[in-house]
Amino acid sequence: MLILSLLILFLTGILIISILWPKEDNLNHFGLKFWLAFGIGSGITSITYFFYTLFLNTDLKGVIIPEIILLAILVAILFFKKPEFGILHRKKEDILPKNTLSRVISISFFVTALSSLLSFIIFSLKNPHGNWDAWFIWNVHARFIYRLNHLTDFFQNSPEWSHPDYPLLISATVARCWKYIGQEQILAPIIIAMLFTFGLVFLLSSSLSILKTKNQGYLAGIIMLCTFTFIQQGTAQCADIPISFFFLSTIVLLGLKDKFNKNSLLILAGITAGMSAWCKNEGILFVISILTARFIALTVENGFKIAVKELALFFAGLIPILSGIIYFKLHLSPVNDIFLNQGINDFVSRILTPARYTEIFSQFLFTIKYYFGRLTGLPLLIIYGFLIGINIKKEYKASILTIIITLCIMFAGYFGIYLISPHDLHWHLSTSLYRLLLQLWPAFLLLYFLIVKTPEEILDKLKLEENQ
């Protein structure tokens, strides 16, 4: 039954991807579409399950019915628009490396992925229920959703420390799997966490293999897998890795749109951006950030009219997801703890306290140095970039500018939340900042490997010099 629940999840995402994915040979990458389908399928089925349960309060049979109906509708649309699925097509050159360098890099990537998977299994065996936040927030929410006859009881009676205002993509996905299984089995949240963790890595790698080269994608994947605490955070069964998955998905889809000029990718980007807001509160900031950044980048590169046209398509994918989130926030969710019982005078007092700026800034520097300043993090990237050089192609300028502005706004937003936080500032920073920065790390890696030269470019240059 767990397999069935995941199969329906994947099929939902695959059908949506197949409907909106453009017929472009260079875009027909199995890994990229597969993992995007998983993320979109998770979001759609969690929303369907939550709201159907909220309004109709049904058993397993009642939960399956709307999902089967949705699948039937998607199949009908797909047959009408594009009879060929095409998502499982894979070219031979996508499988076999062409030269020694490619073989070495690809083998290194898969060895690193395998060792990371073993680490994930070991961590999960030691802590099968995840970390503290999983116990008291995400899995607790899943248990409320799974057990309660009326979901409004959860939002009315859940204690403040459980953060009942948090969006429910992960919790509803876990509860949905439990509904299929018929019991609260710990394997379900572990499997979901594993799929998001390694899906994030393969999404980063496969997207760069299209935007740049396969070697560039493998190198980015290796750096991501070797990032300090990444696998541990993956096994935590929280929403930080999943929301990072949706951040990256949105940015990747916009990058693909810039390279291949396929408008349907903008609708998918809007869907994944909405999923980030359904995943965690930081996703709301991301939606604002990516919309602002994209508008600025497109206006600078292509003009105001093109920017408005593209954002309209982006909104076409975003609005259906956003409408469900708005309903959740207005009718079910309590006030976030940051703003609970806080007045304008409290915020102004904290904003006008210089010591808070110093502490937040110093903690940002410490966190970046401690968590990302290790051998496989920023130092390696700086050395590698210095040795190999940069090459910013015109087709990536809008994407690069979009990522840079988005990251800047996200950093500013995180800084501002800490500035007005009513909690003990040191505690708040030390327990959450490294997770917030980890959310943005894959997007930064995508930006970095879009800018630096590829190994192939260096080899071609060396061969040219030898021939001369």
Instruction: Give per-residue pLDDT as tens, 282-301.
Output: 999 999 999 999 999 999 98
CB-based burial of residue 160 (10 Å sphere; 0-12 exposed, 13-18 middle, 19+ buried)? exposed
Has residue 431 got a pLDDT over 50? yes
Provide the CA 35 distance to its chain's centre, in angstroms. Answer: 11
Q: Which two tokens stand for residue 284?
A: 């709301």
The three state secondary structure string of the chain is: CHHHHHHHHHHHHHHHHHHHCCCCHHHCCHHHHHHHHHHHHHHHHHHHHHHHHHHHCCCHHHHHHHHHHHHHHHHHHHHHHCCCCCCCCCCHHHCCCCCHHHHHHHHHHHHHHHHHHHHHHHHHHHCCCCCHHHHHHHHHHHHHHHHCCCCHHHHHHCCHHHCCCCCCHHHHHHHHHHHHHCCCCCHHHHHHHHHHHHHHHHHHHHHHHHHCCHHHHHHHHHHHHCCCCHHHHHHCCCCHHHHHHHHHHHHHHHHHHHHHCCCHHHHHHHHHHHHHHHHCCHHHHHHHHHHHHHHHHHHHHHCHHHHHHHHHHHHHHHHHHHHHHHHHHHHHCCCCCCCCCCCHHHHHHHHCCHHHHHHHHHHHHHHHHHHHCCCCCHHHHHHHHHHHCECCCHHHHHHHHHHHHHHHHHHHHHHHHHHHCCCCHHHHHHHHHHHHHHHHHHHHHHHHHHHECCHHHHHHHHHHHHHC
Mean of the per-residue pLDDT values of the chain: 88
Q: Which of 198-202, 300-304, 351-355, 392-396: highest mean pLDDT?
A: 198-202
Question: Residue ranges of the domains in the chain?
Answer: 2-87+109-336+343-455
Neighbours of 150 (CB within 10 A): 10
In this predicted structure, the answer to whether residue 354 has a pLDDT above a threshold of 90 is yes
Q: Is the pLDDT of residue 90 over 60?
A: no
What whole-number distance in Å separates Cα of residue 314 and Cα of residue 70? 22
Buried residues in 88-118 as b, exposed as e (16+ CB within 10 A): eeeeeeeeebeeeebeebbeebeebbeebee
pLDDT for res 82: 59
Q: Which two tokens stand for residue 51?
A: 């709201």
Q: Are 242 and 248 in contact (CB under 8 A)?
A: no
Whether the predicted pLDDT of 392 surpasses 80: yes
Cα-atom radius of gyration of the chain, to the nearest Å?
22
Where does the pLDDT of residue 61 fall: very low under 50, low under 70, confident under 90, or very high at 90 and above? low
Band (pLDDT 50/70/90 cuts) for residue 96 is: very low
Instruction: Give me the pLDDT at residue 393, please.
Output: 85
- Which pLDDT belongs to residue 59? 64
Contact assessment for residue 2 and residue 64, using Cβ atoms and an 8 Å cutoff: no
The answer to whether residue 34 scores a pLDDT higher than 90 is yes
Residue 207, pLDDT score = 95
pLDDT at residue 93, as a whole number = 44
Confidence grade of residue 60 (pLDDT, cut at 50, 70, 90): low
pLDDT of 248: 98
Confidence of residue 333 (pLDDT cuts 50, 70, 90): confident
Confidence of residue 352 (pLDDT cuts 50, 70, 90): very high
| 88 has a pLDDT exceeding 50 | no
Residue at token pair 């700026």: 357
85: confidence class by pLDDT, cuts 50, 70, 90: very low
Q: What is the pLDDT of residue 92?
A: 45
pLDDT of residue 87 exceeding 50, the answer is no
